[in-house]
Amino acid sequence: MLIAAIIGIVLLVGADQLIKWWAVTELQPVGTKPFLHIGDLKILDLTYLENDGAVFSSFSGMRWFLVAVTAVMILACTYWLFRNRKHSKFLTLCLTLIIAGGIGNLIDRLFRGGRVVDYLNVKLFHFAVFNFADCCVVIGVILFACYLFFLDPRQAKGKNEAQPSEVSSASEDSKDA
């Protein structure tokens, strides 16, 4: 399971960096290319953008802070992945996506002057320009939240243990009456 996660991380980071290389070499000179349009409805364009901040350009210009936060997040998720590798394939998937996305953007921050290459521009509604690594992190975090709130075996075990004791105490109360 752990080997599959490591292979997944390597493949996702490789895909992210390959797409960013394409964006730098092919998309940067033209700026924007139409990508997904249905008739006059523009859904998605490929737009070259360099972002020196985080989500919606927050923390713009704070390269080393963002490097540190990303590195800590990657290390925490890696620790959790190694610690819980046998618990759940779903949890492993969540952490693999988060780690891969974090590494993809960390590579940019370290080797592209603190700027992350973004290229996915949602035109259907006004939204930020983002990249594949961002998608990995966001999907991983959403799935991780679903795991914590709905699938975590420790929570399910706690709920199952609480119910029998409530039933036994209710039956004891009925005996006393």
Residues with catalytic annotation? 118, 134
Cα–Cα distances in Å, from 88 out to 14, 19, 79, 97, 122? Answer: 25, 30, 15, 14, 33
| 72/50 Cα distance (integer angstroms) | 23
SS3 129: strand
| 110/22 Cα distance (integer angstroms) | 19
Beta bridge partners of 120: 46, 130
Residue 46 sits at the vertex; the CA angle it makes with 19 and 66, to the nearest 5 degrees, is 60
Beta bridge partners of 37: 42
Nearest to 56 by CA among 132, 108, 137, 128: 128
